A and B are shown apart, each in its own frame.
Chain A
């Protein structure tokens, strides 16, 4: 028994729902009590879906338990098959139905459903979670539909370079994108476009937007891209074992990873590496022209990003990618890295070790919040849970991973994969921070009362209570110099060179400095002395 207040992942049958709802023409019959239908709102509200998820719930009640719940399951299956005429039917159960052991999969197998393929799901609700459930459902669906096509173990493995002899373009499948995954819709578009630019065709995208007939075409491709390991790893491994299909495992998030992804896919498909993908300065320069991230990161404004302390938590794929981009491509300092994806804990631990950190593997959001507070970051990259924790701690935050909320499904095109994805990440991670020029000015005038320590004009709220008032009491001079203090002509001339929007503040700071140092006249030297004083 485990105490949970908020949870990163739902139960495994929610993973099954994600796969079914992502696809077209697939229907899921879920043996579940009344109340479990809440899961529909995840799709209709968070994803703003304009259709109900293709799910029939048996919604059994206590009074049904005395009678024949198996009959209820069969009726639900028959009704769903008749009404929705699905191309494939998934049958599963939620946590409570698992306890009453009606075996809905076996019941469905014994029914005449007019030849609709039925895939039975085992979703152990008391030991597994949502992402596992999604991976299992996708795997069972792929396996169930393709089992008739599995070649003899003795037959030769297909040659991933066979596209050449067949006189066609090389083809890959993009596996793993689902609804309620982070930015999957746009990632698929971005990666499809990216591959098209290298003459690589995308054959099947699944589960998102796929029909069961599309899954039947999976083996026609030369390789599988495991785009979201949390969902696709199990199916990719099975396809590799049974069909000899190679798997591209690099997840193309960030400049380095996108480059590595392209190199890997060229190697797998036995494509010659084009010059811009060759390692070396010229290739790098060519690649960097594809995305704005490298130049934006090198531009002087970004100097202020150097060593920003960043705390990262999310699913394994996005957390690992974020750590790599943050440290290597933005020059941040990663001060915490963790994930709730226990299935991929090893990978997260390795990534943390590379940064000299110990990974935080937990699904207790309070432990994450405590670690966050302890690490004292200047930026948090996390899930919706970390967004709330960071808000409480007064730390800017960008969301990088599921669990997500309605704001993480933006109307505009905003992938996080590929070249455009890297540009999107630059904006989304840097905008919560103060702009470089703004930070510079605030540093210069930090003693002004407008700029109390902890000033956060970029966050649109008042500074956190802990830091407000901790600055030394600012000394504010009157608008005109006090008697006994005047500006020399050269001092005035120098002051006039300062941009108007900060001139008033410089004047006041300088006068304050002059009074504190017993000066009677402010000349050019006094102005620079004051500047040196305030920018210390």
Chain B
């Protein structure tokens, strides 16, 4: 059998200041997905301030996440810290009786002082047995970047999944509920009978996993979860991610293929979607074609986005930054990138901004800390955080996804003050 020759694109690896959120940020969308779960960060005032600032506004009466802020006394003695954590969790559970799953989320300070949250979770599970399940993972900045927090949370759930031999498709990664319903409906129309999701909509409603399970990643930042599911006997489907018409079609077709569904059947379901999706995309493509795009590393969605925006919207890729490059999970995406695409991994912020200024791209995808400063230099920007809060997956959302990028350009051409 001929081995396909894959030429890895050259990657610029840099280290220096990284301008990214830490994994705690993913709590902002995870807690909405599982309304019966509570995320308790064990950390510092910085952690609490980060989540509140990243979430933008303090809109909830009592959010289903909080921070157990370490004080000087906790640092002085870990025994005290554990006793304090127990006290605080008991108090929290008394106040929030509807909570079924409690995630203890490790932070930079808790990692550095080596507060063992796995042990704490075990202990708390005994204390609150039958009432709530207590899990732990790390969302610390020293170990995780932004979206990687979701990987940690889902990985913590994997050992709890019941075993099954049943043939089923397991979609992994948080999707907007409406998008998920739509995709599940499409899979069923193609002939995949059983479709389940991780994370589930209720934290206690966990999908089963086993040798009959085919795992389809909806998000590209779930390396650890994918590995853990494979360890449980599941098979990982290799596919591009469901961003854009082409990516979404390939993603769904790969799943159908894993179930041996005939190509004609797949085409019958997906072709009308593709046709409609491309029509909806057309006005955005017209605006975006030939425009030069620079993606700063942030959400880990940069490579799939670059693929979508270059292949389906005609944008030119100046540089595609990614916080880290998982070649296995990105294999299908990398194949689709135009040859010679400039990839960079990690970050040296100052050097990278020098490259942005030198290249004068038409649009930069970046975090909120950088957007206004770049706008002030006359460079249009798109906040990457919007990409993890908006329903952007699937053929039906492709135009909405493109609109997120065409709007800043449209606005730039709209405004005039003389």
Contacts and interface: CB of A to CB of B under 8 A. Distances in A.
Interface of A: 1-7, 9-11, 13-14, 33-42, 44-45, 48-52, 56-62, 64-65, 76, 79, 83, 94-96, 99-100, 124-127, 129, 365-366, 369, 384-385, 388-389, 392, 405
B19 to A, nearest CB: 5
Interface stretch (B64-72, B200-208, B300-308): B64-72
A3 B68 contact: yes
Contact of B368 (A45, A59, A62, A64): A45
A33 B22 contact: yes
B416 interface: no
Interface stretch (B49-57, B220-228, B404-412): B49-57
Contacts, number: 193
B342 to A, nearest CB: 22
Contact of A35 (B16, B21, B81): B21
- Sorting the interface of chain B by its residue count into under 10, 10 to 19, 20 to 34 or 35 or more gives 35 or more
B24 interface: yes
Q: Which 9 A-B pairs have the closest CB atoms?
A: A35-B22, A35-B141, A40-B369, A50-B376, A1-B84, A96-B108, A95-B44, A10-B49, A41-B368
Given A34-B18, A34-B141, A4 B71 contact: no
B70 A51 contact: no
A37 B18 contact: yes
B334 to A, nearest CB: 24
Interface string B1-34: 0000000000000001111111111000000000
B19 A40 contact: yes
A126 B71 contact: yes
Counting chain B CB atoms within 10 Å of each CB, the highest count among A34, A49, A95, A99 belongs to A34
Interface in B129-176: 140-143, 145
Contact of A36 (B16, B141, B367): B141
Nearest to B19: A37
B176 to A, nearest CB: 24
Nearest to A38: B50
A13 B47 CA distance: 13
A79 B350 contact: yes
Contact of A34 (B20, B45, B67, B72): B20
Contacts of A52: 369-370, 373
B147 to A, nearest CB: 12
A196 to B, nearest CB: 31
22 contacts: A1-B69, A3-B67, A4-B48, A4-B66, A5-B62, A6-B58, A7-B45, A34-B142, A35-B21, A35-B23, A36-B46, A41-B368, A44-B371, A51-B376, A56-B17, A62-B111, A95-B109, A99-B75, A99-B112, A100-B112, A129-B45, A389-B61
A11 B88 contact: no
Given A11-B45, A42-B53, A34 B22 contact: yes
A175 B12 CA distance: 47
A57 B46 CA distance: 14
Nearest to A33: B141
Among B17, B68, B75, B81, the most chain A Cβ lie within 10 Å of the Cβ of B17
Contact of B373 (A3, A5, A50, A126): A50
B413 interface: no
A491 B45 CA distance: 70
A3 B143 contact: no
B74 interface: yes
